[in-house]
Amino acid sequence: MAAAAAVTLARRLLRSGPRAGLRGAGGREPGAAPRRAIGHGRVAVELDGSTGVAVMKMENPPVNSLSLDFLTEFVISLEKLENDRSCRGVILTSGAPKIFSAGLDIMEMYGKSTEHYAEFWRAVQEMWLRLYQSNLVTIAAINGSSPAGGCLMAMSCDYRILAENPKYSIGLNETQLGIVAPFWFKDTMVNTIGNRATERSLQLGLLYSPAEAHKIGLVDQLVPEEKIQSTAAAVMSQWLAIPDHARQITKSMMRKPTVDRLLAHRESDIQNFVSFISKDSIQKSLQMYMEMLKQRRG
């Protein structure tokens, strides 16, 4: 299954043209060039060879929507870091102002073919599978709002630091849009904040303020916005003090059962998504939501 997904992703990369190529200087050997930019257009990656810490900055304007192109680049960038022996940890953050990620790109879910929906959903799954069980230490430096799929990305990291700006919010708000968070979003949230808080969060589609998110454990730490990157770096060095091998086995022991649940139902999960999103009522909900967004911006 993972292989099939990789093939799909590779195909997408080939299709996506020059933006997908490597950018910046620097070879594969650590030490020579301490900072290397190895990202793509929508995901800027900078790896510090001296510390082994990479920063992945999401740059998909205006709100870092998880489009098919973005997800493809994200997975490839992450896979490169995983395979780079000089890299031990990654800080995931946003290059956009006020937003970490707005979540799944509604344009990918509206008015497209069922084939497109299936390809998109497989890419969403692949992003989560890679991030949730990454061998790297993964720290989310959440410097903006993080609804739905953005919240999923944050929850999939090992540690979450949120800028304590009261205008920011985080949560799985799918039901507010008339859609349903899939079971593995739910599992990831249960693993983070427990069953009862998840039940209430998901049914009501709650978006939490930084103070509330910290109180229920949806994020681990709040810091003033200007300190988020330095705090992430400091926390990362704590995590890197632990021998990689023992930490990786421990992480896998904790997360593998949750990953295996999706792997066992991956194709049916895609089919569920496709048939759900193809419904007239859902398409109509999405249309209304998009019009509301347009009016807000206008």
Provide the annotated active-site residues: 104, 149, 173-174
Cα-based distances in Å from 66 to 24, 59, 292: 24, 11, 20
Question: How big is the site for a copy of itself, counted in residues (CB under 8 A)?
Answer: 52
For residues 270 and 116, is the Cβ–Cβ distance under 8 A?
no
Q: Return d(Cα 8, Cα 275) in angstroms, integer.
A: 21
Q: For a copy of itself, which residue of 114, 238, 260, 287 counts as binding (CB under 8 A)?
A: 238
DSSP per-residue string spanning 58-90: E--TTTTEE-HHHHHHHHHHHHHHHH-TT--EE
Give me the least distance between CB of 125 and a copy of itself, in Å please: 14
Q: For a copy of itself, which residue of 18, 31, 111, 203 counts as binding (CB under 8 A)?
A: 203
Residue tagged 């720290």 (tokens):
139
Q: Tokens in use for 113?
A: 């073919």
Q: Return d(Cα 174, Cα 286) in angstroms, integer.
A: 11
- Tell me the pairing of strands 103-104 and 65-66: parallel
Q: Does 284 bind a copy of itself (CB under 8 A)?
A: no
Measured from the CB atom, is 85 or 200 closer to a copy of itself?
200
Residue tagged 């109509």 (tokens):
284
Measured from the CB atom, is 39 or 171 closer to a copy of itself?
171
Q: For a copy of itself, which residue of 69, 205, 222, 228 counts as binding (CB under 8 A)?
A: 205
Position 166, amino acid: P
- Tell me the pairing of strands 221-223 and 103-104: unpaired
Residue tagged 């990479």 (tokens):
54
Q: Return d(Cα 231, Cα 272) in angstroms, integer.
A: 40
Give me the least distance between CB of 139 and a copy of itself, in Å please: 12
Q: Does 41 bind a copy of itself (CB under 8 A)?
A: no
Using CB under 8 A, which residues numbered 118 to 177 contact a copy of itself?
A: 158-159, 174-177
For residues 89 and 137, is the Cβ–Cβ distance under 8 A?
yes
Q: Return d(Cα 148, Cα 207) in angstroms, integer.
A: 9
Measured from the CB atom, is 39 or 182 closer to a copy of itself?
182
Give me the least distance between CB of 282 and a copy of itself, in Å please: 9
Q: Does 262 bind a copy of itself (CB under 8 A)?
A: no
Measured from the CB atom, is 165 or 258 closer to a copy of itself?
258
Q: Does 243 bind a copy of itself (CB under 8 A)?
A: yes
Q: Does 204 bind a copy of itself (CB under 8 A)?
A: yes
Measured from the CB atom, is 70 or 184 closer to a copy of itself?
184
Q: Does 62 bind a copy of itself (CB under 8 A)?
A: no
Q: For a copy of itself, which residue of 29, 199, 267, 291 counts as binding (CB under 8 A)?
A: 199
Peptide bond into 61 cis (omega under 30): no
DSSP state of 205: T
Using CB under 8 A, which residues numbered 6 to 25 contact a copy of itself?
A: none
Q: Does 3 bind a copy of itself (CB under 8 A)?
A: yes
Q: Does 196 bind a copy of itself (CB under 8 A)?
A: yes
Give me the least distance between CB of 111 and a copy of itself, in Å please: 20
For residues 124 and 66, is the Cβ–Cβ distance under 8 A?
yes
Footprint on this chain of a copy of itself (rule: CB under 8 A): 1-3, 158-159, 174-183, 186, 190-196, 198-200, 202-205, 217, 220, 238-239, 242-243, 245-247, 249-251, 253-255, 265, 268, 272, 275-276, 281, 285
